[in-house]
A and B are shown apart, each in its own frame.
Chain A
């Protein structure tokens, strides 16, 4: 893939993250959250968290993909600066880590939706 394609995705995922992560954080703030927890402590109770998974699973899934891509691609850039000669290994590790972590995160969401 051309370097500019990945970098464009980096910026697009960043813009998506501003919105998605903003929502994800607001979920925890009492008074603002659509899940209506009583307090900051309450926002992490089993009930509220489960509702977050059931009602806004698509936000979590998009957030997971965007955050993983943005973070791992950033790390890939740092590693490329560190060891430019090892770019094959670095790119492979990037793809493998992205797929593995994405799958693991999606599994959690799928389990919630199923059960």
Chain B
């Protein structure tokens, strides 16, 4: 019995795990896959926004009293919280724009091309159809929006 178990041996569990999968966009070093980067960013920005939302619910509960609100605002007006706010703004912009793309793709099944007869060099339709162009647009608009948010927040 023991020898049989030795002979069979154990299986090695070979899964990178949640943190690797959701933080490292280059876990699989394949080219032509910015969707993976978008997935990682979407998840990371989502968690950032959720953390901000929970904090926001507690911070805004201070608005019921003028003195308390002024003191809370005073405590949160440092440059560090400004930068933090700016990061959250960037997260919201990316998450929102990419979210619109994901609704179109995942909910309505749009922008992934139609099935075809494969021809070399096998680039599948979903990696060269509308959603890909949308993704580049999302990246560009997010960067522009983030810069604009910086202008409003730091100069305004």
Listed in ascending order, the chain A residues whose CB lies under 8 Å from chain B are: 11, 14-15, 17-18, 21, 25, 29-30, 39-41, 44, 46, 49-50, 53, 64, 67-68, 71-72, 74-75, 78, 81-82, 101, 104-105, 107-108, 111-112, 115
Contacts and interface: CB of A to CB of B under 8 A. Distances in A.
B125 interface: no
A75 B47 CA distance: 7
Given A44-B73, A101-B54, A108 B43 contact: no
Interface stretch (B62-70, B116-124, B126-134, B136-144): B62-70
A14 B103 CA distance: 8
Interface stretch (B3-11, B26-34, B92-100): B92-100
A28 to B, nearest CB: 9
B53 A71 contact: yes
17 contacts: A11-B107, A14-B99, A14-B103, A30-B156, A44-B73, A49-B63, A50-B63, A68-B53, A71-B50, A74-B46, A74-B50, A75-B46, A78-B43, A104-B57, A104-B61, A105-B60, A112-B63
A21 B60 CA distance: 16
A49 B53 contact: no
Main secondary structure of the interface of B (DSSP, over half): helix
Main secondary structure of the interface of A (DSSP, over half): helix
Contacts of B99: 14, 18
B18 to A, nearest CB: 5
Contact of B156 (A14, A39, A108): A39
Interface of B: 18, 22, 43, 46-47, 49-50, 53-54, 57-58, 60-61, 63-64, 66, 69-70, 73, 92, 96, 99-100, 103, 106-107, 152-153, 156
Contacts of B18: 78, 81-82
Nearest to A107: B61
B49 to A, nearest CB: 7
Given A18-B100, A108-B57, 14 more contacts: A11-B106, A14-B99, A21-B92, A21-B96, A39-B156, A46-B63, A46-B66, A71-B53, A75-B46, A101-B57, A105-B60, A108-B61, A111-B64, A112-B64
A91 B12 CA distance: 30
A72 B43 CA distance: 12
A18 B60 CA distance: 21
Contacts of A71: 46, 49-50, 53
A75 B50 contact: yes
